[in-house]
Amino acid sequence: MEENARVEQLKTKFKDYFGAEAEFIARAPGRVNLIGEHTDYNGGFVLPAAIDRSVLIAVKDLPGSRKVELVSLEFDNHTSFDLDNIKPTQEKALSWSNYVMAVVWALTQKGLIDLATLPGAQLVIQGDVPRGSGLSSSAAIEVASALTFLRLGGATTDGATLALTCQKAENEFIGVKSGIMDQFISALGQPDSALLIDTRSLEYKVVPLGLEELGYRVVAVDSAVPRSLGSTAYNQRRAECEESVKILAPKLGLKEGAQLRDITLEQFTAHSADLPDILRKRARHVINEDARTLEAVSLMQAGFSKNNNLARFGELLYASHASLRDDYEVSCKELDLLVELASGCVGVVGARMTGAGFGGCTVNIVQTQHLDDFEQKVVQEYRRRTGLEAKMHVCKAVAGGSYLA
């Protein structure tokens, strides 16, 4: 459903639940990462785009109340929490509400809102970012919640602070040690563009995609594999990256606080024998992935219509996937199959897993005229071979978090 239609439906639902009009709507999108995977907690580069799948929150304040009442249309349930007693719920079915609480907590911790004077509120939440599929539904609910409570607290902030606050919520309240990419792109995405984000300085460049005008689309394919083992392995990868820097830093004379981002390919090649096998593979992925991401951006900036730039971009996506599969070991056989099937399709420029891995989505660059063919060859063949219902999402790059009305 188009976002405008979703907004109208949400307003009606709000009235049905709370018997009054919503005062405003906060929205924040999910994302697809084109390239630059598992680099953001290594101080490296990422190239995500915000997509036309979002979380919308319809809001009304309750002056004088300390209660936040929440309804989730997606989960078809409701709950509430007290502003004077913010702590995570243990009830699984209501775990979505923890993201909202987490953000209130983080905004307060950062001094962006004053909890003592914050009014209670009624919220109806509607999202169409597929859950647990690596398209950052949690970043979307965090950013939309942060916009909600900033406005309720009469405050504003810049996009980077918004993203850092949501990352704090995710890292410290939810307990997932994610990097900054997802929250950053959800807060700051730009229409028809990806952002090259330097995840250390948080400087970023808007990089126009330039695909649709050439007859290509960005397509996410959800493998329908739940990412159950994801967070343990994610934290383990982070630790492995830190460990490899610890070993290499003294040999390379790197300063305190150095990250894999600070190690050039030449330095790595000269010293890679100093690392145990596993750490060598992990570091090699991150260092090569940073180089691939910067090359991808220079191809986009030079223009996909020139030379073989689009084809080279596609090669970088395939190379990224191979590296995530073989060196970083965060893919799975279903994601590998989706990439393999895509690579055999006419009109496909490149494909790779996107997001944390261990399930979730692939990202594909597909010629618009071959989308139907792609669906048949990839989605249907995948179903035939695995019995799983993959889902295809043709995406548009959109603006980051905003208020509607």
The footprint of ligand GLA (CB under 6 A) covers: 37-38, 40-41, 178-179, 181-182, 355-356
Contact between 286 and 42 (Cβ < 8 Å): yes
The Cα 35–Cα 354 span in angstroms is 8
Question: Which CB, 40 or 69, lies closer to ligand GLA?
Answer: 40
100 closest CA partner among 30, 174, 189: 174
Contact between 111 and 148 (Cβ < 8 Å): no
Token pair belonging to 58: 């319809």
Q: Beta-carbon neighbour count of residue 250 at 10 Å?
A: 9
The CB-of-97 to ligand GLA minimum distance in angstroms stands at 20
Contact between 68 and 123 (Cβ < 8 Å): yes
What's 397's DSSP letter?
B
The CB-of-330 to ligand GLA minimum distance in angstroms stands at 8
The CB-of-36 to ligand GLA minimum distance in angstroms stands at 7
The CB-of-202 to ligand GLA minimum distance in angstroms stands at 13
Question: Which CB, 78 or 238, lies closer to ligand GLA?
Answer: 238
The CB-of-48 to ligand GLA minimum distance in angstroms stands at 9
The Cα 181–Cα 198 span in angstroms is 10
182 is catalytic: yes
The CB-of-66 to ligand GLA minimum distance in angstroms stands at 32
Taking every pair of Cα atoms in the chain, the longest distance, rounded to a whole number of angstroms, is: 68
What are the respective helix, strand and coil percentages of the chain, to the nearest 5? 45, 20, 30
Catalytic one of 16, 40, 128, 182:
182
The Cα 120–Cα 80 span in angstroms is 10
Q: Which residues of 102-124 are buried (b: 16+ CB within 10 A; e: fewer)?
A: bbbbbbbeeebbebeebbbbbbb
Question: Which CB, 43 or 314, lies closer to ligand GLA?
Answer: 43
Question: Which CB, 54 or 122, lies closer to ligand GLA?
Answer: 54
Token pair belonging to 116: 């003592």
Question: Which CB, 22 or 139, lies closer to ligand GLA?
Answer: 139
293 closest CA partner among 32, 7, 34, 3: 34
The CB-of-11 to ligand GLA minimum distance in angstroms stands at 31
Question: Which CB, 38 or 151, lies closer to ligand GLA?
Answer: 38
Pinpoint the alpha helices (H) of 222-332. 230-252, 265-271, 277-302, 309-326
Question: Which CB, 71 or 260, lies closer to ligand GLA?
Answer: 260
Question: Which CB, 120 or 230, lies closer to ligand GLA?
Answer: 230
Half-sphere exposure of 294 (CA within 13 A, CB side): 10
CA-CA-CA-CA torsion sign (334, 171, 58, 53): negative
Distances (CA, A) of 321 to 34, 76, 289, 352, 356: 11, 36, 10, 5, 12
List the catalytic residues. Answer: 182
